[in-house]
A = this chain, B = another copy of it.
């Protein structure tokens, strides 16, 4: 394990973060599970172990997770992302990779709405606030928490990847390969997040219209 990159979740106690953690520990991948509070991190680790008794999970505060991880999964709510980055900016390891899962969607009177950002997407918004020495990738934005949590069922969908460099994309694709049943699709530069984040809004819309929880996407026609 010493040669494998250490994987940590920032905000691993929300539904999406917990779903990702569940898929990782279910595949035998050790994770650092971060939260703003040590207590909540421990409670979430406990719930992981109750579903996957062999789970290799270590709960910690977000700051500790950030300082200790080579690959970080940012699974906080969009509204809290900027403050989380600002608070821990000095703790990131140079050369580490942040994988952004945030989606700028707000609910107004129960209806989901895309939050337009000057940078065009949440990923680009975060890029502008991240230390230069940290690479940024995008993954899992369109995979619903509900589908992630159903570990007895394969995800049978595609995961759309983009990133700020070719190296960031390659490392993000490698990370996605850790989750069985998920095919990583390389969508190129970081501005592809403008499409991907809106596709999450579409998935939420479809879930509501079709009274389901797991709408997700697959690409037909790739070689």
A residues bordering B, Cβ < 8 Å?
Answer: 114, 144, 147, 156-157, 160, 185-188, 192, 194-196, 198-199, 201-202, 205-206, 209-212, 214-223
Contacts and interface: CB of A to CB of B under 8 A. Distances in A.
29 contacts: A114-B194, A157-B220, A157-B221, A160-B202, A186-B209, A187-B202, A187-B206, A188-B205, A192-B205, A194-B198, A195-B195, A195-B198, A195-B201, A196-B202, A198-B198, A199-B199, A206-B219, A206-B222, A212-B223, A214-B221, A215-B219, A215-B221, A215-B222, A216-B219, A216-B221, A217-B217, A217-B218, A217-B219, A218-B218
Given A220-B156, A221-B147, A187 B205 contact: yes
A195 B199 contact: yes
Contacts of A218: 217-220
Nearest to A205: B188
Copies assembled: 2
Interface of A is mostly: mixed
Given A212-B221, A215-B222, 14 more contacts: A114-B194, A160-B202, A186-B209, A192-B202, A192-B205, A195-B199, A195-B202, A212-B222, A212-B223, A215-B220, A215-B221, A216-B220, A217-B220, A218-B220
